[in-house]
Amino acid sequence: MAKKQKNFRPKPRKPRGFRDRLGADILAEQEMLRRITEVYASYGFMPLETPAFEFTDALGKFLPDVDRPNQGVFSLQDDDEQWMSLRYDLTAPLARYVAEHYDGLPKPFRRYQVGTVWRNEKPGPGRFREFTQCDADSVGAPAPHADAEAVMMLSDAVGAAGVPMEDFLVRVSSRKIMSGLLQTIGLDTADGGTSGTVLRAMDKYDRLGADGVRLLLGEGRKDESGDYTEGAKLSGEQADMVLAFMEAQGADNAATLKAMGELIKGQEVGDEGLTELLQMAETLEALGYGARVKMDPSVVRGLDYYTGPVFEAELTFDVTNDDGQVVQFGSVGSGGRYDDLVKRFKGVEVPAVGCSVGVSRLLSALEARGQKGTDASPVVILALEADRMSVYHQMAASLRAEGIPADVYLGGSGMRAQLKYADKRGAVIAVLQGEDERSRGEVTVKDLKLGEKLAREIESNEEWRSGQPAQVSVPEGDLVATVQRILRGE
């Protein structure tokens, strides 16, 4: 007799670096996005949407000598054998859009975009493979004034999202100055190999410190998981100069820029970058952003397409990580100049600069700090009599008309189950009208801040009405006003 085959049942699980989100988390993100995009719109930027998938060659993510896209992006082949990838940011799709519609667009073209992006990278605390970005970019605007505006807008956006001014900094540097450094130590900046490896090592300075970066500038580094990263193979003298540059921090922005300039020894491209940063610092100081902006040579930005000023919005308050360690959360927004990105399509240089807020990361930081998001917990209308459902729906409608979320219980269960339902929904108020209330033309309104205790202990309608002080019976016409009073905490 043949064995009966078992039905396959997949294990309910999700991939590392991806999250399920519910209710309050999504509402908090929507509220944060509303605040940030209001800032972008106040600067005169207009919204744009682009597809989640782009052709991989438009993203510039092929490895040499292979026919499969590079690590870092999630990719698949279309039925015509063309590689497509989920966008890893919103800037590369913008460059494609501008190149495709170039002649019909106003220049500068100022747009903001909100969207999900995906990165096929190792996840970590507060770092996900799927997350939301909220970008604003000016295409066709040369340095340095558009760059100063982008720094101001990023600063305003982080503040509008809920971070006090004293709790973050926008750190600024320049890829041109870094090119001057690379030329000073004898590297060819046109050769992306060794130069790119050096820049990627410098970009890890905040995380790995000087010792870790020195390993990456030399032979290489093995991390705690055993993964080995090949180094740039610089000499000890070259590595010393790179680290001296990374640590060239003065007492103020002017002193920092002077120290950076002395280390690049008059390289033309580096001097050009210094002049741009000096002009940006002057503008930002004049407009009241000086206290929020710090010139910092350790800011590199890992993406290869940056060509001028680069910047990061960094939180400065402490949080506790998953291991119980007190750490600073770090960067929650970034941006920079990328004058060559549209050139990949058009063949001519099109100046561009933009900023991006990592909304998911910023929300994680505020949550770790104890800042709660939007509370949109509903009022639950208990349904105790089946023939009174239309009345319960009318109660809910009267609350919704005043902007109060309201939910009529439709599960068909009894009193205890309905209270458990209200508790699991996170409801702060339950509304009851049984036979006794109805005969008096009243409703009972119950504050459910102790909802978990109520759901665990109450067995009957009578016990709930008589034994709990956090409730009030009011005329039916006073339902909305009573709910509003409780929601205000009165």
pLDDT per residue as tens digits for the range 90-120:
999 999 999 999 999 999 999 999 999 999 8
The candidate with the shortest Cα–Cα distance to 313, out of 168, 197, 424, 195, is 168
Q: Strands 228-230 and 220-222: what pairing?
A: antiparallel
Which stretches of 287-376 are assigned E, i.e. beta strand?
293-295, 309-320, 326-337, 352-358
- pTM for the full predicted model: 0.79
Whether residue 89 contacts residue 302, with contact meaning beta carbons closer than 8 Å, is answered with no
Question: Which range has the worst mean pLDDT, 241-250, 339-348, 370-379?
Answer: 370-379
When pLDDT is averaged across residues 340-369 and rounded to a whole number, the result is 87
When pLDDT is averaged across residues 445-464 and rounded to a whole number, the result is 61
In the DSSP assignment, the letter for residue 49 is: -
Q: Is the pLDDT of residue 179 over 80?
A: yes
Whether residue 132 contacts residue 356, with contact meaning beta carbons closer than 8 Å, is answered with no
In the chain, where the domains are located: 24-52+87-369, 379-487
Give 294 or 128, the one with higher predicted confidence: 294
Domain 379-487 has CATH 3.10.20.30: no
pLDDT at residue number 451: 46
pLDDT band at 455 (very low <50, low <70, confident <90, very high): very low
Backbone φ and ψ for 84, nearest 5 degrees, come out as: -120, 150
pLDDT at residue number 465: 52
- State how far the Cα of 145 lies from the Cα of 149, in Å rounded to an integer: 6
pLDDT band at 64 (very low <50, low <70, confident <90, very high): very low
Query: Quick one: what percent of the chain has pLDDT higher than 70?
Result: 88
Q: Is the pLDDT of residue 177 over 60?
A: yes
pLDDT at residue number 67: 60
Backbone φ and ψ for 483, nearest 5 degrees, come out as: -60, -45
- State how far the Cα of 403 lies from the Cα of 410, in Å rounded to an integer: 21
377: number of CA atoms within 13 Å, CB side? 19
Average pLDDT of the chain is 86
Residue pLDDT, tens place only, 200-229? 888 888 888 889 999 999 888 988 877 888
Which CA distances in Å does 258 have to 175, 239, 480?
Answer: 16, 21, 64
DSSP letter string, 462-484: HHHHHH-SSEEEEEGGGHHHHHH
Q: Is the pLDDT of residue 422 over 60?
A: yes
pLDDT at residue number 93: 94
Q: Which fold has domain 24-52+87-369?
A: BirA Bifunctional Protein; domain 2 (3.30.930)
Whether residue 132 contacts residue 101, with contact meaning beta carbons closer than 8 Å, is answered with no
